[in-house]
């Protein structure tokens, strides 16, 4: 007994020392990342250095702002010494720090992790276990007496209770193997040990080597049926990697959209401030004219009211900008306390780059490259495969069953008596389950037929939706380009009107209403021009994304297709 306990404890301690939590984590990561690399090698634009480790970097060498922008008023000083974040830097920070992006990566990792288990289920799974117990029970004493008649020894049960003490143990090791033919093979070596400690000490041991094999011959038979769980896991990971690859594009476009949105809000602040300053000058000029009696007080009051209104608009624009900047920090995964501003040069460098591609060419590219469409197409194949699997479930169950083993000599001494070749046993036969009750299987089969139609419908709908996205993307680009051209003219006209009204006011011939209208229209035209430029840029990025050809680097930065013209 003591030897059994010592051996079991020693094995447990050695196994525990070799398999700490750190070991299991490293083992899971190594296998999971290998699976992702294996599947991702064929997927365009997949992150070749995929990891879910928290790299949360903000060690980028960013320039520091030394200027104070007066258009921000009292908030300008808070941006002194702020780090200037370019679009490329923002994208790099986002892929390392964004909580949403990290969660998406973790979902992909978990999908790959489940595949490692699905694959492992078709490997021989080894086991080793054992137990040991010490037991005590009381029983009637048995004595040997001499029969007074025959004078021969005989046994007799007395009323006295005696303690019976014993130790028992058993151990087994073997494997269980799910075969890709649908069969299952298991084998084990077992040993049993029993020793009585009270009375006349006795020891009994036995051992056995046994194997068991079950192979379906009809229902559940065949490679395709047997590995369905593995096939499903393999394809689910492929779908997840495709989705992640497409998500990388969408995520970068989202970050760029938010980035330019913040810059657009900053430009609105600037335009509102300049409009407010223009009204202040107009009010001061009109106030001087009113003092000389060259204009009416009503004209002055109108300008002063508009000055206050523009001041309120300017203050509101500052608040909107600061709110957008803080929201963008959260989107990047940064603290709102971090003093960061965006690079105005990114907005200054924007220009209209209109894709030089026809609708027919764009549709052809999208239907060839869109990874989500590949997933929907493959799911049609999945549904058709499951119809065959469901049909297999309607068949009779006929299994070949066999087992064999070798036994040791019973009640022998020693720790592990070896099984003897001449002490064998084996059986072979068939287990049959006639399909007298298959209602559940019938329902699965009928549902599988419906799923085929649903999958085909999803394919048709997804194809139409992609075509709609591409065509609508081209229309949006054309609209944004025309809006930009219109607002370019509007800004020039607005500037001319303001100059004219300023000159008329200096001559005492202008009206407050005309001045207010000209200056408000100029501010609105400048805001609209920036909105059109940003809108066209975002629409262009989204268009390339809809075509599935927006290339994303490992640091999240995108690379546009060169086929574009000014």
> Considering only CA atoms, which of 313, 343, 341, 259 is closest in space to residue 78?
341
Q: What phi and psi, each to the nearest 5 degrees, are found at residue 339? A: -85, 95
For residue 200, what is the DSSP state? S
Give the span between the Cα atoms of 383 and 276, in whole angstroms: 64
- For 509-550, write each residue's pLDDT tens digit: 666 567 767 778 888 899 999 999 999 999 999 999 999 998
Whether residues 423 and 523 share a domain: the answer is no
Q: How far is CA 172 from CA 129, 168, 308, 375, 432, in A?
A: 6, 14, 89, 46, 31
What integer is the mean pLDDT of 120-135? 92
pLDDT in tens, 54-107: 766 666 678 888 888 888 888 888 888 899 999 999 999 999 999 999 999 999
Verify that 245 and 287 share a domain, yes or no: yes
Task: Report pLDDT digits (tens) over 241-267.
Answer: 999 999 999 999 999 999 999 999 999
Report if residue 508 sits inside a domain.
yes
Domain membership of residue 2 (yes or no) is: no
Above 80 in pLDDT, residue 505? no
Question: What are the phi and psi torsion angles at 174 (to 5°)?
Answer: 175, -160
Co-location of 355 and 266 in the same domain: yes
* CA gap 307, 527 in Å, rounded: 19
Residue 23 lies in a domain: no
Q: What is the pLDDT of residue 566?
A: 40
- Residue 43 sits at φ, ψ, to 5 deg, of -100, 120
Residues 236 and 104 in one domain: yes
Higher per-residue confidence, 156 vs 62: 62
Is 35 among the domain residues? no
One domain, residues 486 and 448 = yes
Q: Is residue 6 part of a domain?
A: no
Name the least confident of 186-195, 407-416, 433-442, 507-516.
507-516
Same domain, 113 and 136: no
Q: What pLDDT is attached to residue 450?
A: 97
3-state secondary structure at position 171: strand
464 token code pair:
């139409």
pLDDT score, position 69: 84
Q: How far is CA 69 from the centre of its chain?
A: 41
Least confident of 29-38, 314-323, 408-417: 408-417
- Neighbouring residues of 4: CB distance < 8 A, sequence distance ≥ 6: 130, 132, 169, 171, 193
Number of domains in the chain: 2
> Are the C-beta atoms of 520 and 272 separated by less than 8 Å?
no
pLDDT digit string, tens, across residues 355-404 = 989 999 999 999 999 999 999 999 999 999 999 999 999 999 999 999 99
Task: Sort residue 154 into left (φ over 0), alpha (ψ -120 to 50) or beta.
Answer: beta
Angle at 414 between CA 411 and CA 416, to 5 degrees: 90
**What is the 8-class DSSP label of residue 393?**
T
- Please check whether residues 169 and 254 belong to one and the same domain: no
What is the CB-side half-sphere exposure of residue 527 using CA atoms within 13 A? 19
Q: Are residues 256 and 190 in the same domain?
A: no
What's the CA gap between 388 and 384, in Å, rounded? 7
Backbone angles phi, psi at 85, to 5 degrees: -105, 115
Number of C-alpha atoms within 13 angstroms, CB side, residue 415? 7
Per-residue model confidence as pLDDT tens digits over 463-487: 999 999 999 999 999 999 999 999 9
Residues in the chain: 566
Same domain, 459 and 515: yes
DSSP annotation of 32 reads H
> What one-character DSSP code corresponds to residue 86?
-
Kindly state whether residue 450 falls inside one of the protein's structural domains. yes
Please write the tens of the pLDDT for every residue from 417-459. 788 888 889 999 999 999 899 999 999 999 999 999 999 999 9
Same-domain check for residues 254 and 366? yes
Q: Report which of residues 531 and 414 the model is more confident about.
A: 531
Task: Evaluate whether 377 touches 459 at the Cβ level (below 8 Å).
Answer: yes
Does some domain include residue 180?
yes
CATH number for 283: 1.20.1600.10
DSSP 222-234: SHHHHTHHHHHHH
At 5, is the pLDDT very low, low, confident or very high (cuts 50, 70, 90)? very low
- Asked if 385 and 401 sit in the same domain, the reply is no
- Whether residue 165 is contained in a domain is answered as yes
| Judgement on whether residues 191 and 81 belong to the same structural domain of the protein | no
Contacts of 117 (CB under 8 A, 6+ apart): none
Q: Which domain holds residue 273?
A: 43-121+230-389+444-565
User: Cβ(195)–Cβ(414) under 8 Å?
Assistant: no
């Amino acid at each position: 007994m003591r030897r059994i306990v010592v051996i079991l404890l020693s094995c447990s301690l050695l196994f525990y020392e070799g398999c700490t939590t750190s070991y299991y984590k490293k083992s899971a990561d190594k296998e999971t990342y290998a699976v992702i690399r294996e599947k991702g090698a064929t997927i365009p634009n997949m992150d070749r250095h995929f990891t879910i480790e928290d790299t949360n970097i903000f060690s980028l060498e960013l320039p520091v702002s030394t200027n104070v922008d007066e258009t921000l008023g009292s908030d300008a000083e808070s941006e002194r010494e702020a780090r200037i974040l370019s679009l490329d830097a923002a994208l790099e920070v986002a892929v390392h720090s964004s909580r949403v992006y990290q969660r998406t990566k973790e979902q992909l990792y978990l999908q790959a992790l489940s595949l490692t288990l699905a694959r492992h289920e078709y490997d021989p799974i080894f086991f080793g276990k054992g137990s040991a117990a010490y037991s005590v029970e009381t029983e009637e004493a048995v004595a040997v007496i001499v029969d007074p008649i025959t004078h021969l020894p005989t046994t007799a049960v007395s009323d006295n209770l005696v303690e019976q003490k014993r130790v028992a143990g058993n151990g087994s090791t073997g494997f269980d193997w799910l075969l890709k033919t649908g069969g299952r093979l298991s084998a084990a070596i077992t040993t049993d040990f029993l020793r009585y400690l009270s009375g006349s000490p006795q020891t009994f041991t036995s051992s056995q080597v046994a194997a068991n094999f079950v192979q379906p011959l009809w229902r559940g038979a065949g490679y395709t049926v047997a590995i369905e769980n593995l096939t499903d896991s393999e394809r689910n990971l492929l779908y997840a990697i495709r989705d992640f690859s497409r998500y990388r594009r969408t995520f970068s476009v989202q970050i760029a959209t938010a980035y330019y949105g913040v810059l657009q809000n900053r430009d609105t602040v600037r335009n509102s401030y300049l409009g407010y300053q223009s009204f202040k000058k107009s009010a001061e000029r009109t106030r001087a004219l009113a003092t000389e009696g060259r204009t009416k007080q009503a004209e002055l009051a109108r300008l002063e009211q508009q000055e206050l209104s523009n001041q309120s608009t300017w203050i509101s624009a500052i608040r909107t900008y600061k709110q957008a900047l803080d929201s963008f920090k959260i989107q990047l995964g940064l603290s709102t306390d971090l003093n960061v501003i965006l690079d105005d040069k990114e907005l200054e460098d924007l220009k209209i780059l209109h894709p030089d591609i026809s609708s027919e060419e764009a549709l052809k590219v999208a239907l060839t490259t869109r990874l989500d469409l590949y997933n929907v197409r493959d799911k049609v194949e999945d549904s058709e495969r499951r119809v065959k699997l469901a049909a297999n479930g309607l068949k009779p169950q006929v299994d070949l069953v066999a087992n064999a083993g070798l036994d040791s000599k019973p009640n022998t001494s020693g720790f592990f008596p070896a099984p003897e070749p001449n002490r064998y046993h084996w059986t072979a036969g068939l287990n049959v389950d006639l399909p007298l009750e298959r209602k559940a299987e019938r329902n699965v089969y009928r549902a599988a037929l419906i799923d085929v139609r649903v999958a085909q419908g999803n394919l048709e709908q997804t194809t139409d939706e992609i075509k709609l996205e591409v065509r609508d993307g081209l229309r949006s680009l054309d609209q944004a380009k025309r809006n930009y051209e219109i607002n370019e003219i509007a800004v020039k006209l607005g500037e001319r009107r303001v100059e004219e009204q300023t000159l008329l006011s200096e001559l005492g011939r202008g009206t407050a209403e005309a001045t207010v209208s000209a200056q408000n229209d100029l501010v609105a035209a400048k805001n609209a021009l920036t909105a059109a430029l940003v809108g066209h840029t975002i629409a262009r990025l989204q268009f390339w994304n809809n075509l599935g050809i927006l290339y994303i680097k490992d640091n999240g930065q995108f690379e546009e297709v060169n086929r574009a013209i000014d």
